């Protein structure tokens, strides 16, 4: 049994009230560890450590902060195998994915922001009145809270922590209670890299108690949150009367729009990936696939054939394409949506069943599922399923598909497949989404702004956007 502890003031602590939660291994349904269900008092201890560390950390020379972050990145890379194994066991994702994507991207977050801060210059200009100059100070906020979900555990956890720290803030961070393991391991790495005590504090526990204590804390001045839309709305309500700065990265129901003039083979392979990578549990997955009428029947045959060839299996096996879903309740939720889709006249073209993986019969495995839907108004096209389930339907024209793509409460990302430049420009400017990919998917550059519109969030992360969020701009005006 692995017993995870809170990382407060550079040390590892049991929860004050000795209250623990079970940690499940999704690949076999076993309880393999325990995590603290931290109370308000644990969060208060973390806050006190962070507050005490702030004076010194906020004044630590920028290149020293940058050096420590880059050291954390180096150590993560040196521990790639250990972190990838832990991530895969905790989350159910194929270890190959954790090793090739999740952990390297977590390391990149520290390296990128370690470097970015050294390029983050602020504006200065002569005033409109003569003999006066304005300049802008970008100052750390103080103690900030970072709360992350279970789907890309270390990657999204560090995506917040790295810019927060390098900008001179002290952090109280809470990973998802469903996938706490790699955040726990990160504490050791931070100590080894020389991050001063109290600068980063990691508390574990349920959202409704530990998370709630973070968002309710009057002196935690900013919250960076990634997770579900309803949780985001709840956090906004709590934070508003205290005037906390908020960044909310929420759910998605992303359209994948395929025109007949695209590079077909490339589109097909990428669409399999954008549908089912990480068991479809990525906020950016293209879960609503719209195909131009003239190639619809051909696409249906070719896509279903490729999806049927995906191997569902134990996450540790090198030939596994689809691992386990993250938890039993989540598996049940995804199964419910397949039933709802059928009830609303959807046709399951492949998948739809739980998979018994030999030797791991209690794991949370589900076949990759393709559903042909009669319209865009059905629940499975309007609500976030967040699993290995995609819908397909044909469209008649550019206007028709644009209307359906935008007719949803979310607006995170969209993908367009076409070789028509004018159409690309028209569509990408009219799609209501924070990110539009053309002839690719999830090609990420950490300098670009990342975030959603509508119910997919408020604010932007990534590059200087993240550094702006984690600093306060102060205008200084000098008359001479």
Catalytic residue from among 249, 367, 384, 465? 249
Shortest Å distance, C-beta 125 to ligand NAD: 35
CB under 6 A: which stretch of 56-64, 121-129, 250-258, 353-361 binds ligand NAD? Answer: 250-258
Complex with ligand NAD: residue 104 or 457, whichever CB lies closer: 457
**Within positions 419 to 478, which residues make up the interface with ligand NAD, using CB under 6 A?**
452, 456-457
Complex with ligand NAD: residue 9 or 179, whichever CB lies closer: 179
**Is residue 250 part of the contact set for ligand NAD (CB under 6 A)?**
yes
In this structure, the number of other CB atoms found within 10 A of the CB of residue 413 comes to 27
For ligand NAD, the binding residue among 36, 92, 104, 227 (CB under 6 A) is 227
Shortest Å distance, C-beta 134 to ligand NAD: 35
Cα distance between residue 292 and residue 192, in whole Å: 54
Buried b (16+ CB within 10 A) or exposed e, 207-232: bebbbbbbbebeebbbbbbbbbbebb
Residue 314 sits at the vertex; the CA angle it makes with 311 and 317, to the nearest 5 degrees, is 80
Are 119 and 113 in contact by the 8 Å Cβ rule? The answer is: no
Shortest Å distance, C-beta 62 to ligand NAD: 27
**Is residue 386 part of the contact set for ligand NAD (CB under 6 A)?**
yes
Shortest Å distance, C-beta 2 to ligand NAD: 19
Are 319 and 313 in contact by the 8 Å Cβ rule? The answer is: yes
**Is residue 249 part of the contact set for ligand NAD (CB under 6 A)?**
yes
Complex with ligand NAD: residue 133 or 238, whichever CB lies closer: 238
Q: Per-residue x/- marks for ligand NAD, 163-182, CB under 6 A?
A: -----------x-xx-----
Shortest Å distance, C-beta 474 to ligand NAD: 29
Shortest Å distance, C-beta 224 to ligand NAD: 11
Closest C-alpha among 186, 223, 211 to residue 10: 186
**What are the CA-CA distances from residue 258 to residues 278, 336, 393, 426 (Å)?**
22, 28, 11, 15
Size of the site for ligand NAD (CB under 6 A): 31
**Is residue 85 part of the contact set for ligand NAD (CB under 6 A)?**
no
How far, rounded to the nearest angstrom, does the alpha carbon of residue 100 sit from its chain's CA centroid? 17
Does the annotation count 283 as an active-site position? yes
Complex with ligand NAD: residue 80 or 206, whichever CB lies closer: 206
Complex with ligand NAD: residue 178 or 262, whichever CB lies closer: 178
Does the annotation count 249 as an active-site position? yes
For ligand NAD, the binding residue among 251, 352, 394, 459 (CB under 6 A) is 251
Shortest Å distance, C-beta 8 to ligand NAD: 17
Cα distance between residue 287 and residue 274, in whole Å: 8
**Nearest residue to ligand NAD on Cβ basis:** 207
CA atoms in the 13 A half-sphere facing the CB of 167:
28
**What are the CA-CA distances from residue 300 to residues 273, 293, 479 (Å)?**
16, 11, 69
**Torsion angle of alpha carbons 268, 270, 276, 277, nearest 10°?**
160
Cα distance between residue 165 and residue 180, in whole Å: 20
- 3-state SS class at 442: coil
**Within positions 93 to 152, which residues make up the interface with ligand NAD, using CB under 6 A?**
147-151
**What are the CA-CA distances from residue 333 to residues 240, 255, 336, 390, 475 (Å)?**
31, 21, 5, 15, 49
Residue 456 sits at the vertex; the CA angle it makes with 182 and 256, to the nearest 5 degrees, is 95
**Is residue 35 part of the contact set for ligand NAD (CB under 6 A)?**
no
Shortest Å distance, C-beta 221 to ligand NAD: 16
**Is residue 317 part of the contact set for ligand NAD (CB under 6 A)?**
no
CB under 6 A: which stretch of 1-9, 186-194, 226-234, 270-278 binds ligand NAD? Answer: 226-234
The CB-based long-range contact list for 128-137 (8 Å cut-off, 24+ gap) reads 131/479, 131/480, 132/477, 132/478, 132/479, 132/480, 133/477, 133/478, 133/480, 134/475, 134/476, 134/477, 135/475, 135/476, 135/478, 136/473, 136/474, 136/475, 136/476, 137/473, 137/474, 137/476
**Is residue 198 part of the contact set for ligand NAD (CB under 6 A)?**
no
In this structure, the number of other CB atoms found within 10 A of the CB of residue 407 comes to 13
Catalytic residue from among 170, 283, 285, 378? 283
Complex with ligand NAD: residue 89 or 217, whichever CB lies closer: 217
For ligand NAD, the binding residue among 310, 373, 412, 435 (CB under 6 A) is 412
**Is residue 418 part of the contact set for ligand NAD (CB under 6 A)?**
no
**Is residue 390 part of the contact set for ligand NAD (CB under 6 A)?**
no
Active site residues: 249, 283
Residues in contact with ligand NAD by the rule CB under 6 A: 147-151, 156, 174, 176-177, 207-208, 211-212, 215, 226-228, 231, 234-235, 249-252, 283, 384, 386, 412, 452, 456-457
């Amino acid at each position: 049994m692995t017993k995870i502890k809170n990382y407060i003031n550079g040390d590892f602590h049991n929860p004050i009230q000795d209250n623990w939660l079970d940690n499940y291994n999704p690949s076999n349904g076993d309880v393999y560890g325990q995590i603290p269900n931290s109370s308000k008092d644990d969060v208060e201890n973390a806050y006190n450590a962070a507050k005490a560390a702030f004076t010194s950390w906020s004044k630590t020379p920028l290149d020293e902060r940058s050096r420590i972050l880059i050291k954390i990145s180096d150590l993560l890379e040196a521990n790639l195998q250990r972190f990838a194994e832990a991530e895969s066991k905790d989350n159910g994702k194929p270890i190959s994915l954790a090793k090739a994507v999740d952990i390297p991207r977590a390391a990149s977050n520290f390296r990128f922001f370690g470097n970015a801060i050294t390029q983050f210059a602020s504006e200065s200009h002569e005033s409109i009145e003569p003999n006066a100059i304005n300049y802008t100070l970008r100052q750390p906020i103080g103690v900030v809270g970072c709360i992350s979900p279970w789907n890309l555990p270390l990657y999204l956890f560090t995506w917040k922590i790295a810019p927060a720290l390098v900008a001179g803030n002290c952090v109280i961070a809470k990973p998802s209670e469903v996938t706490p393991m790699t955040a726990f391991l990160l504490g050791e790495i931070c100590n080894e890299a020389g991050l001063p005590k109290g600068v980063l504090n990691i508390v574990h526990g349920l959202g409704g108690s530990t998370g709630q204590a973070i968002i309710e804390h009057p002196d935690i001045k900013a919250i960076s949150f990634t997770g579900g839309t309803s949780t985001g709305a709840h956090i906004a309500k709590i934070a508003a009367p205290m005037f906390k700065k908020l960044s909310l990265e929420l759910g998605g129901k992303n359209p994948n729009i395929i025109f007949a003039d695209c590079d077909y083979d490339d589109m097909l392979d990428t669409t399999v990936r954008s549908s089912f990578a990480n068991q479809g549990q990525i906020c950016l997955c293209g879960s609503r696939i719209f195909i131009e009428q003239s190639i619809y029947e051909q696409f249906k045959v070719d896509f279903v054939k490729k999806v049927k060839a995906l191997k569902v299996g134990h996450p540790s096996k090198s030939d596994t394409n689809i691992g386990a879903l993250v938890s039993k309740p989540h598996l049940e939720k995804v199964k419910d949506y397949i039933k709802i889709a059928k009830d609303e006249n959807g046709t399951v073209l492949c998948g739809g069943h739980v998979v018994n993986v030999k030797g791991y019969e209690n794991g949370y495995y589900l076949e990759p599922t393709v559903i042909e839907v009669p319209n865009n108004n059905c629940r499975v096209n309007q609500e976030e399923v967040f699993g290995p389930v995609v819908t397909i339907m044909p469209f008649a024209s550019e206007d028709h598909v644009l209307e359906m793509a935008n007719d949803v409460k979310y607006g995170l990302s969209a993908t367009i497949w076409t070789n028509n430049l004018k159409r690309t420009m028209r569509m990408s400017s009219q799609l209501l989404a924070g990110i539009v990919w053309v002839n690719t998917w999830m090609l990420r550059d950490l300098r670009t702004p990342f975030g959603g519109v509508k119910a997919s969030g408020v604010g932007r992360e990534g590059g200087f956007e993240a550094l702006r969020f984690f600093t306060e701009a102060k205008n200084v005006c000098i008359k001479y």
